[in-house]
Amino acid sequence: MTRRPFIAGNWKMHKGPVQADALAAELKRLLMDFTGVDLAVAPPYVSIPAVVARLKHSGIAVAGQDLHDQVQGAYTSAISGEMLVEAGCSHVIVGHSERRSLFGDTDEVVAAKLRAALRAGLSPILCVGETLAQRDAGRAHDVVTGQLALALAGLSPDQVLGITIAYEPVWAIGTGRTASPAQAQEMHATIRSWLSDRYPREVPATVRIQYGGSVKPGNARGLLSQPDIDGALVGGASLDATSFRDIVAAAG
Ligand code: PGA
């Protein structure tokens, strides 16, 4: 079973509509030939319409960076999955470590958001990952599988099939420190075997597990050549079209 590589760029709080449109135009031009790789970008909410318009017919999907678990209501500043769909998104990032650590998204909140994404018909990218303290204490595997267990509890195999998992060790995000290909592969294999223990064979065989955390053109090939690393969730390096292209090229 070969899984198609999936590379997503998380622009975080960068690129308002004007700059986002320019970056999307460059990406559309540079990524035209990479038909063997699934691609997505996650701009800030206000830039989504510009990016959706620019990337029409490009094959590059547009993702939200987060969502609220309700459809609508008195939740000042929040955006629902249904709104993301209406704006042209097909994907959404759920449980990013910055949401967890800076905005207080607990495992419970992440689980609710994951369900909301599926309800809205979005393809979720579910982020999991341990902190440095947790890794140093030898708890990395327990933390990551614990996050998965809480997020996926009660979902059907069919629902889990629609999810991409992103393993993002918190200590590697935005720090320039990457997990080595062997360290990342080890965790990805753990995640896949955790899925194997709980779901029909099709699930671990099909679900893609992205690596995230300081992925750059220089380290992408080593990471993406690992058997259980099916793509990347790229932050900083996705803000430069050429760097993102080079990462995509390492997958294709
Ligand atoms: P980074 O971010 O590539 O800048 O480390 C990755 C992420 O947060 O998804």
CA of 37 from ligand 1 middle (Å) equals: 19
Domain definitions of the chain by residue range: 6-251
Substitution site in 41, 219, 234, 247 for ligand 1 pocket (most atoms within 8 Å of beta carbon): 234
pLDDT by position in tens, the chain (length 252): 589 999 999 999 999 999 999 999 999 999 999 999 999 999 999 999 999 999 999 999 999 999 999 999 999 999 999 999 999 999 999 999 999 999 999 999 999 999 999 999 999 999 999 999 999 999 999 999 999 999 999 999 999 999 999 999 999 988 888 899 999 999 999 999 999 999 999 999 999 999 999 999 999 999 999 999 999 999 999 999 999 999 999 998
pTM for this model (two decimals):
0.97
E strands, the chain, in order:
6-10, 38-42, 60-64, 91-94, 123-128, 164-167, 209-212, 231-234
Exposure string of 129-165, with b = 16+ CB inside 10 Å and e = fewer, is bbbeebbeeeebbebbbebbebbbeebeeeebebbbb
Ordered DSSP codes for 53-96: HHTTTSSEEEEES--BSSSSSS-TT--BHHHHHHTT--EEEES-
Per 3-state DSSP, the chain is made up of helix, strand and coil in percentages (nearest 5) of 50, 15, 35
Report the CATH architecture of 6-251: Alpha-Beta Barrel (3.20)
